[in-house]
């Protein structure tokens, strides 16, 4: 890691000395302790809780000139003690934990336009489809070309990407990525947003994603996702909605016809914020036997969109397979109390249910439908300073027989999922040069 950092620092120093530009060095240190007895997994009477500390460490280098910008973010993500260079007398380092989180160049072109090329974060609307997924210690970035135009309340973005596997020489595609990893071969989008009034904005996203058919095949199955996001803000009220339709080919080559609908309303009165929302992700109804229906795939896929804080903090609903492709309905009341500008306690409850019927994996010729139980998420957050924040949370899942069965666990063996965590975030600015 030291060698990579010094190379990057030297590279930036060259630009700073050779051109009038602003140069900034910043860092992030984010250790997080977790007690896991149900996060993204189902505990049974045969399992035990796990305790661990993970840590994100980043060094960021930014160069800002009048008509271009350059940015590097080098990160190390590890679990304390999970090092592959160690012995009985010491734990030394993990050779696989360090990598480039972001590295991009941005250039101003024409008037009100810019292009960005390289590894970058995408954050659009409420991040249901294009997200930076910052809860993960790794975060989510995209290797892509981005064109962006902004003027007088309008924003128009176009992104293109094509991802190869890592085997073979440069320029040689062995098509050797196993599709089971769900890696996107290509992700492209057109995004248009208009701030129609001071209170209301409307955006349209057209997303084209592609999965490789199978190993050793150059065929790519393409799926389109098109729809709208709207946001209304006035005084203490905020309202949001999403409406998206998905069509094309699924990862397995089936024709797709799926949808996502969401609505959310929040109201803030002095120190108290209250709100509620509903998400509906369509699913595949296993009880329907007609050929036209079964030949199409009806479960909506959010791809690389955010899961955490949308479908419960415990991440039980990551992919369509998480509900046996039965879709998901999530109704969530929420409230937050702001003790002062630096301290907030929030509480959110999720009422989960299947959107359609699915086959019972524990019984023949039986269907599962309806409620999947509920999840309570509680978080306390406090900012000590601009650079230093501490947060802690606890989540409890109230299971039922349907939840246990779709997770392929006997209802008599399942335990109550519980997950708790404490996280420190320290993001200092280490150096800023003047232009």
pLDDT in tens, 200-238: 999 999 999 998 887 767 788 999 999 999 999 999 999
Token code pair at residue 94 = 């993990």
Q: Which residue has the higher pLDDT, 147 or 252?
A: 147
Give the pLDDT of residue 379.
98
Q: Is the pLDDT of residue 169 over 90?
A: no
Task: Give the whole-angstrom CA distance, residue 83 versus residue 15.
Answer: 36
- Our CA angle for 178, 180, 181, nearest 5°, is 80
Neighbours of 70 (CB within 10 A): 20
- SS3 label, residue 300: coil
Beta strands in 293-414 (DSSP E): 296-297, 328-340, 343-353, 358-359, 367-368, 371-383, 388-398
**Sign of the C-alpha dihedral, residues 386, 390, 394, 395?**
positive
Average pLDDT over every residue of 165-179? 61
Of 208, 201, 258, 270, the closest CA to residue 231 belongs to: 201
Task: Give the whole-angstrom CA distance, residue 364 versus residue 290.
Answer: 20
Give the pLDDT of residue 170.
62
Q: E strand or H helix at 74, and its extent?
A: strand 68-79
Q: What is the dihedral of CA 47, 51, 53, 54, to 10 degrees?
A: 10
Q: Is the pLDDT of residue 4 over 70?
A: no
Highest mean pLDDT among 16-30, 173-187, 200-214, 377-391: 377-391
Task: Give the whole-angstrom CA distance, residue 286 versus residue 324.
Answer: 10
- Asked if residue 141 lies in contact with residue 101, where contact means CB atoms within 8 angstroms, the answer is yes
Q: Using 50, 70 and 90 to split pLDDT, how confident is the model at 3?
A: low
Work out the mean pLDDT of the chain and round it to a whole number.
91
Give the pLDDT of residue 167.
58
Of 30, 31, 41, 29, the closest CA to residue 419 belongs to: 41
- Asked if residue 238 lies in contact with residue 266, where contact means CB atoms within 8 angstroms, the answer is yes
Average pLDDT over every residue of 155-178? 74
Give the pLDDT of residue 189.
98
Q: What is the dihedral of CA 397, 129, 140, 144, to 10 degrees?
A: 170
Q: Which residue has the higher pLDDT, 359 or 218?
A: 359
Give the pLDDT of residue 7.
59
Q: Is the pLDDT of residue 19 over 90?
A: no
Residue with tokens 């271009």: 68
pTM beyond 0.75: the answer is yes
Neighbours of 109 (CB within 10 A): 14
- Asked if residue 59 lies in contact with residue 30, where contact means CB atoms within 8 angstroms, the answer is no
Beta strands 296-297 and 255-269, pairing class: parallel
Task: Give the whole-angstrom CA distance, residue 345 versus residue 391.
Answer: 10
CA distances from 6 to 9, 25, 55, 79, 324 (A): 5, 13, 22, 24, 48
Domains defined for the chain, CATH in brackets = 2-432 (2.40.160.100)
- Asked if residue 204 lies in contact with residue 191, where contact means CB atoms within 8 angstroms, the answer is yes
DSSP-derived letter for residue 360 is -
Average pLDDT over every residue of 51-77? 95
Proportion of the chain in helix, strand, coil states, percent, rounded to 5: 10, 55, 40
Give the pLDDT of residue 84.
81
Q: What is the dihedral of CA 34, 310, 264, 155, to 10 degrees?
A: 110
């Amino acid at each position: 890691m030291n060698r990579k950092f010094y190379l990057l620092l030297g590279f930036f120093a060259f630009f700073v000395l050779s051109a009038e530009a602003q140069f900034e060095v910043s860092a992030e240190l984010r250790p997080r302790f977790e007690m896991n007895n149900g996060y993204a997994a189902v505990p049974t009477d045969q399992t035990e809780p796990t305790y661990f500390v993970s840590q994100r460490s980043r060094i960021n280098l930014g160069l800002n000139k009048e008509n271009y910008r350059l940015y590097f973010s080098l990160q190390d993500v590890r679990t304390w003690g999970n090092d592959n260079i160690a012995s009985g007398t010491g734990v030394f380092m993990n050779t696989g934990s360090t990598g480039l989180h972001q590295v991009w160049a941005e250039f101003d072109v024409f008037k009100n336009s810019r292009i960005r090329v390289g590894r970058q974060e995408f954050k659009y609307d409420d991040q249901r489809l294009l997200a930076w997924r910052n809860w993960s210690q790794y975060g989510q970035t995209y290797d892509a070309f981005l064109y962006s135009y902004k003027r007088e309340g309008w924003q128009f973005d176009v992104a293109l990407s094509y991802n190869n596997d890592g085997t073979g020489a440069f320029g040689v595609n062995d098509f050797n990525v196993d599709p089971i990893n769900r890696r996107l071969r290509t992700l492209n989008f057109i995004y248009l947003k208009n701030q129609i009034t001071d209170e209301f904005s409307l955006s349209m996203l057209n997303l084209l994603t592609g999965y490789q058919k199978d190993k050793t095949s150059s065929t790519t199955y393409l799926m389109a996702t098109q729809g709208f996001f709207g946001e209304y803000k006035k005084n203490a009220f905020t309202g949001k909605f999403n409406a998206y339709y998905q069509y094309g080919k699924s990862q397995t080559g089936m024709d797709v016809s799926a949808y996502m609908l969401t609505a959310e309303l929040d109201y803030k009165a002095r120190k108290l914020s209250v709100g509620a929302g509903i998400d509906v992700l369509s699913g595949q109804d296993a009880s329907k036997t007609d050929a036209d229906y079964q030949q199409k795939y009806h479960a909506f896929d959010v791809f690389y969109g955010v899961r955490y804080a949308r479908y419960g903090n415990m991440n039980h609903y990551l992919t369509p397979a998480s509900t046996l492709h039965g879709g998901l309905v999530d109704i969530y009341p929420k409230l937050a109390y702001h003790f002062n500008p630096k301290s907030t306690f929030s509480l959110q409850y999720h009422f989960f249910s299947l959107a359609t019927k699915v086959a019972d994996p524990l019984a023949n010729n039986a269907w599962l439908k309806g409620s999947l139980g509920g999840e309570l998420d509680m978080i306390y957050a406090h900012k000590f300073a601009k650079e230093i924040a501490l947060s802690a949370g606890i989540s409890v899942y109230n299971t039922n027989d349907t939840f246990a069965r779709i997770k392929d666990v006997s209802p008599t063996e399942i335990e109550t999922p519980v997950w708790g965590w404490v996280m420190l975030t320290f993001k200092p600015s280490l150096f800023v040069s003047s232009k």
